[in-house]
Structure 1
């Protein structure tokens, strides 16, 4: 028998089912990102961080939406917004040759003294990020939207954890520190900062260690001058007062290896001279004692003979200096 044509009701039912399936699929497609966006639209900050929120919706711009203070409760930040977290507590940037600084391996600021000796400067910069909301918005616009290269060669945003923050400090803050230290150290001679430097320098005259006792005071002058200039230099370089409570602690001044080796050799030579002088003084004292003893014997020959007898070893029974017959001694 020939197949009958599909009825109109069946055709409408089939079309309805197709549209229903398409609608469900579209609803799922829209619901998944909507749910993700809804749950991701709630954020909060820890006690040691502040957050800058930027719009990120499909129809939004990319401007800063809001700033969330440290230790906040759950906060609505909008659909698909991006959050940039920055440190809110005191931070520090360490420069040290012991391997514990911001850069891996040996890391010192090498700057010349006024007499041309390269001095190694180690220290730590302490500071806070300015938590004023308008200042944070400006900071994120200027630095939070670009990447910085770290010591390991990677590139990070400043808000990309410790790696990103260290990369920002290394590329933007470190050159300012280097420049300030170079300016201040260049006002002093090497021996005014490291006393032993005078041992290997031609000073045109004799210098003693007492003339260099003021080097600690000179180091303190450098530290105070850096603390005075660094805040203004950072503000000028960054474009605003993004960092506050700035303090640089200068912990150590070192000499280049070649100069330090020469100092060590000079100190070893001085030690040998001192040892030789001590031996000369000892020999002179012994000679003076022997002369005084001989003068006493000359005035008292009998005393000299008594001392000779006392000096004889035990068990000697005959003592006959200059006499072949000998003299019997009492046994002890």
Structure 2
């Protein structure tokens, strides 16, 4: 091998050994930084679109963040990011709400850089654990605040049992949550929010009491119907007694119940009837 070829081969190996890449999956967007080992300064070289690769020096850092729709699930479901969120109604009853918020991370390169440098690297949000911690601070806390603020306008029975009130409350939560999330983050790092909120649930003892009260209402209604039926029957008896007389009514009722057997006897017939004992 000639000296020139040997030199080129060594250079190629050295270049390969001193280079790496940041590769994004189809649901990721990357940040490619250039690191100056002398000054310690990191300068963004550019963003890496989903499903692409950027070659870097071995010392240059790269970070990948979600490019697809993300969710924050607050429910009793297995794997949810949080338990249901509690709110307090206008009449000071604590209620629990399950639901899910979906959103996207803003992929504009400058905005993504600001997100990484302000929030992402502090939480190590390019890891699953770091992303989960970020959700708790920048999604859950503002959403909790928004849900509570909107619930203060309504009594618990309205939130629990009135579909129109629940719809109005949910709409206001969506508006407030986006405002509070932006305030918490300091910029519009998250966008395209969708909120699905379940019916606010009062404590179990309150639900039990409500069910018992409803059962009592239904029992009272049934008793009223029975009372009306008895009144109607008594009125019918009074009318029969007025026509037949007391003894006539007794005989009528006995005949109606099948307790008196009637045998037709022709007039002038010589027939004896022996009653049963």
Same fold, TM-score > 0.5, yes or no: yes
Following TM superposition, by how much is the alpha carbon of 1:66 offset from its aligned partner in structure 2, in angstroms? 2.3
1:181–1:226 contact (8 Å) kept in structure 2:
yes
Following TM superposition, by how much is the alpha carbon of 1:113 offset from its aligned partner in structure 2, in angstroms? 1.5
Q: Helix, strand or coil: the match of 1:311?
A: coil
1:326 and 1:271 mapped to 2: Cα distance? 58
CA shift in 2, pair 1:71/1:306, >3 Å:
closer
1:100 and 1:298 mapped to 2: Cα distance? 79
Q: Helix, strand or coil: the match of 1:255?
A: coil
Q: Helix, strand or coil: the match of 2:42?
A: coil
Equivalent position of 2:147 in the other structure: 181
Equivalent position of 2:7 in the other structure: none
Q: Helix, strand or coil: the match of 1:194?
A: helix
Q: Could you give the per-residue CA deviations for residues 83-107 of structure 1, whole angstroms, max 9, x where no partner exists?
A: 322111122212224556312xxx2
Equivalent position of 2:25 in the other structure: 46
Q: Could you give the per-residue CA deviations for residues 204-224 of structure 1, whole angstroms, max 9, x where no partner exists?
A: xxxxxxxxxxx3222222222
Following TM superposition, by how much is the alpha carbon of 1:229 offset from its aligned partner in structure 2, in angstroms? 2.5
Q: Could you give the per-residue CA deviations for residues 34-55 of structure 1, whole angstroms, max 9, x where no partner exists?
A: 75543xx233322211112334
CA shift in 2, pair 1:91/1:306, >3 Å:
closer
Following TM superposition, by how much is the alpha carbon of 1:168 offset from its aligned partner in structure 2, in angstroms? 0.8
Q: Could you give the per-residue CA deviations for residues 120-140 of structure 1, whole angstroms, max 9, x where no partner exists?
A: 233322211111000000111
Q: Could you give the per-residue CA deviations for residues 148-176 of structure 1, whole angstroms, max 9, x where no partner exists?
A: xxxxxxxxx21103x33222101222111
- The reply to whether residue 67 of structure 1 matches residue 47 of structure 2 is yes
- The reply to whether residue 158 of structure 1 matches residue 125 of structure 2 is yes
Higher radius of gyration, 1 or 2 = 1
Unaligned runs of 5+ in 1: 1-30, 148-156, 196-214, 318-324
- The reply to whether residue 287 of structure 1 matches residue 223 of structure 2 is no
2:147 and 2:66 mapped to 1: Cα distance? 26
- The reply to whether residue 117 of structure 1 matches residue 85 of structure 2 is no
- The reply to whether residue 191 of structure 1 matches residue 157 of structure 2 is yes
Equivalent position of 2:196 in the other structure: 249
1:42–1:77 contact (8 Å) kept in structure 2:
yes
1:233 and 1:226 mapped to 2: Cα distance? 10
Q: Helix, strand or coil: the match of 2:26?
A: coil
Q: Tell me how large the CA RMSD over aligned residues is.
A: 3.6
Structure-1-length-normalised TM-score: 0.65
CA shift in 2, pair 1:277/1:48, >3 Å:
same
CA shift in 2, pair 1:84/1:309, >3 Å:
closer
CA shift in 2, pair 1:241/1:296, >3 Å:
same
CA shift in 2, pair 1:305/1:68, >3 Å:
closer
1:51–1:67 contact (8 Å) kept in structure 2:
yes
Say which of 231, 254, 259 aligns to 2:178. Answer: 231
1:96–1:123 contact (8 Å) kept in structure 2:
yes
2:31 and 2:227 mapped to 1: Cα distance? 76
Q: Could you give the per-residue CA deviations for residues 176-220 of structure 1, whole angstroms, max 9, x where no partner exists?
A: 11111111111222232224xxxxxxxxxxxxxxxxxxx322222
Unaligned runs of 5+ in 2: 1-11, 264-270
| Number of aligned residues | 257
Say which of 65, 83, 106 aligns to 1:130. Answer: 106
Say which of 66, 76, 100 aligns to 2:55. Answer: 76
Q: Helix, strand or coil: the match of 2:121?
A: coil
Say which of 69, 76, 99 aligns to 1:90. Answer: 69
Q: Helix, strand or coil: the match of 1:254?
A: coil
